[in-house]
Structure 1
Amino acid sequence: MAKVNRARSTSPPDGGWGWMVVAGCFLVTICTRAVTRCISIFFVDFQTYFSQDYAQTAWIHSIVDCVTMLCGLGFALCYSPAIAMVGKYFSRRKALAYGISMSGSGIGIFILAPVVQLLIEQFSWRGALLILGGFVLNLCVCGALMRPITLKDDQTTSEQNHVCRTETQGFQRASPSSTWTKEWVQTCLCGSLQQEYNFLLMSDFVVLAISVLFMAYGCSPLFVYLVPYALSIGVSHQQAAFLMSILGVIDIIGNITFGWLTDRRCLKNYQYICYLFAIGMDGLCYLCLPMLQSLPLLVPFACTFGYFDGAYVTLIPVVTAEIVGTTSLSSALGVVYFLHAVPYLVSPPIAGWLVDTTGSYTAAFLLCGFSMIFSSVLLGFARLVKKMRKTQLQFLAKESDAKLQLWTNGSVAYSVARELDQKDGESVAIAMLGSNPT
């Protein structure tokens, strides 16, 4: 087999072939996330054809999303590696690069939503799915753009793993059945895994992981139920597809502008807070949705929700990299997107069950809204506690330094006073001896 040429660099190049990687990731997000979200346009057709309720029909979309984030199957083999590759090529302009890459989801929704509706009308839902399947084959082209790159940190890790493998093979050849050899192999493997996944023990990452669960639960149902909700209040099929297009195009603006803004010097240190703000705003949009009963009211909602959805999606890799670093970014992103799987699986059916039970979308939308707000508040509270603890430790450190300095100065002062007393005593003795020569 031909050997793959691997580019070598001491630091991310922040350009060059990296822009081709961004283009590849852009196409990947169109072929994966955009196509997945456009499945909501099929929702009413699925429900009518199979004669099922909301909860049962929602499993179609939720299983697609879940398998994408959970396994090494299908879209998952393209989505996570493409995002991780962008992080390898960019450092200084990472948020902008991710903004452009992730905007493929919004552009895809903007283009595909009306196209899918036309395909359903012309070729039925079966024909539309076949055509979408042919379009998704472009993922093969995207994979050809992903040129591997070796950074300085990767070289160090690779050298350590190579030494470990060499020593292990040598010990196995020398004494393959030795108990000591087996223990060495286990220790080496455990050390390698511990080095790659040591971020799992970081408290900041644990909090991020918990918040991702609530955030993922809240964000998924809208892309399943926006079209059915619009149809239930009297909006036509074309207008409902138009809402999805608006959501998609504003999502693009959120991806790019938020990525560009948070790369600026004034906001560079506040990317974490911007991420929290975007999630919280989407939660507030959810809480307002049940009161919007017409197309003119749904359009501003789609604009607002789409913008902040694109904003926080762009910042997920940035916030993850801030917590775990660039070296472990690929593994950490894999865990983060893996954590999306379970909420993606259960949230649309739960929302559908609430719609079937209550006969209204209100309970489902409110639950999603509060879930996203809780995700934002949890991260904000954790960051506040960390900052307070850091301030307290700094105060204790300063106080201990002051006490140490005071103790040292006191000792010096006591020593000087004692020397002065000794000199005074000697002077008095000499004077007495001078006055009494006997």
Structure 2
Amino acid sequence: MSMNRKLAPEGEWGWMVVLASFVFHFFSLGTIKALGVFVPQLGAAFDISDGEVGIVCGIAFGLKAILGPVWATAALKWNAREITAIGGFLTAIGFIGAGWAVSTLQLAFCLALTGIGFGLPSVALLVIIRDYFDIRFSLATGIAYTGSAIGMIVLPSFVEILITSYGWRSAIILLGALCFNICAVRNIRST
């Protein structure tokens, strides 16, 4: 441990940070998995094949991983809470824009924005969790990342219900509205 860094409080308010990170991961990988439910509707709406829909979605969310070194640098250089809020905003706006897209290019751009939005908080949330945990960092991170698995189980079924009830455009807009919850991480107080 660095001599310049004070000891983390080992929990306390940190468990709320873990909960916020859980919610982020729930939406992050859950919505990527849920995009599979949109494939037939997107293919029909934009007159493209399932493979082309997959490419649009894959490239867009590939940005999350490909730009990982950029996200890591940003998380260490700037305020991690602000970066997480900006990421949540971009994610939500990307999904909402995708609901209004009228061309494949617009859809790709909006989903790319969503991928960038999901990428920004991915490392920043680890930095925030590190502020609260030293000894229990692995446990806290494990709990936070459990949100990914639960999101991948729950969100596709939820999205299918939304599509059946409201149509694909309204469903993706509602998904974007739900992703605004990621912005709430900005309000988590510092140690």
For normalisation by structure 1, the TM-score amounts to 0.37
Query: Residue 95 of structure 2 contacts residue 173 of structure 2 at CA under 8 Å; is this kept in 1?
Result: yes
Equivalent of residue 224 in structure 1, options 6, 15, 34: 34
Cα deviations across residues 200-221 of structure 1 (Å, max 9, x unaligned)?
xx12422x24434543443323
- For the residue of structure 1 that corresponds to 2:109, the secondary structure is helix
Cα deviations across residues 41-80 of structure 1 (Å, max 9, x unaligned)?
xxxxxxxxxxxxxxxxxxxxxxxxxxxxxxxxxxxxxxxx
* 1:380 equivalenced with 2:190 (yes/no): no
* 1:305 equivalenced with 2:117 (yes/no): no
Query: Residue 211 of structure 1 contacts residue 375 of structure 1 at CA under 8 Å; is this kept in 2?
Result: yes
- For the residue of structure 1 that corresponds to 2:146, the secondary structure is helix
CA–CA separation in structure 2 for the residues paired with 1:252 and 1:344: 17
CA–CA separation in structure 2 for the residues paired with 1:227 and 1:212: 28
**1:349 corresponding residue in structure 2:** 157
Superposition CA RMSD, Å? 2.8
The residue type equivalent to 1:345 in the other structure is I
CA–CA separation in structure 2 for the residues paired with 1:248 and 1:261: 19
The residue type equivalent to 1:299 in the other structure is A
CA–CA separation in structure 2 for the residues paired with 1:323 and 1:243: 38
Q: Determine which structure has more spread, i.e. the larger CA radius of gyration.
A: 1
The residue type equivalent to 2:176 in the other structure is G
CA–CA separation in structure 2 for the residues paired with 1:209 and 1:365: 26
**Uncovered stretches (5+) of structure 2, i.e. residues with no partner:** none
* 1:245 equivalenced with 2:58 (yes/no): yes
Query: Residue 95 of structure 2 contacts residue 176 of structure 2 at CA under 8 Å; is this kept in 1?
Result: yes
Percent of residue pairs bearing the same amino acid type: 12
**Uncovered stretches (5+) of structure 1, i.e. residues with no partner:** 1-10, 13-152, 154-197, 388-438
Count of equivalent residues: 182
Q: CA deviation at 1:367?
A: 2.7
Distance of aligned partners of 1:214 and 1:369 in 2 relative to their CA distance in 1, 3 Å threshold: farther
Q: CA deviation at 1:305?
A: 1.5
- For the residue of structure 1 that corresponds to 2:67, the secondary structure is helix
Q: CA deviation at 1:243?
A: 0.9
Query: Residue 211 of structure 1 contacts residue 376 of structure 1 at CA under 8 Å; is this kept in 2?
Result: no
Q: After the TM superposition, which parts of structure 1 deviate over 4 Å for at least 4 consecutive aligned residues?
A: none
* 1:369 equivalenced with 2:176 (yes/no): yes
Distance of aligned partners of 1:260 and 1:222 in 2 relative to their CA distance in 1, 3 Å threshold: same
Q: CA deviation at 1:227?
A: 3.1
Query: Residue 255 of structure 1 contacts residue 307 of structure 1 at CA under 8 Å; is this kept in 2?
Result: no
Query: Residue 34 of structure 2 contacts residue 159 of structure 2 at CA under 8 Å; is this kept in 1?
Result: no
Query: Residue 217 of structure 1 contacts residue 368 of structure 1 at CA under 8 Å; is this kept in 2?
Result: no
The residue type equivalent to 1:292 in the other structure is A
CA–CA separation in structure 2 for the residues paired with 1:215 and 1:247: 18
Query: Residue 94 of structure 2 contacts residue 112 of structure 2 at CA under 8 Å; is this kept in 1?
Result: no
**1:429 corresponding residue in structure 2:** none
The residue type equivalent to 2:20 in the other structure is S
**2:80 corresponding residue in structure 1:** 271
CA–CA separation in structure 2 for the residues paired with 1:338 and 1:237: 30
CA–CA separation in structure 2 for the residues paired with 1:336 and 1:321: 12
Q: CA deviation at 1:296?
A: 1.4
Cα deviations across residues 68-114 of structure 1 (Å, max 9, x unaligned)?
xxxxxxxxxxxxxxxxxxxxxxxxxxxxxxxxxxxxxxxxxxxxxxx
The residue type equivalent to 2:56 in the other structure is L
Greater RCO, CA 8 A, separation 6+: 2
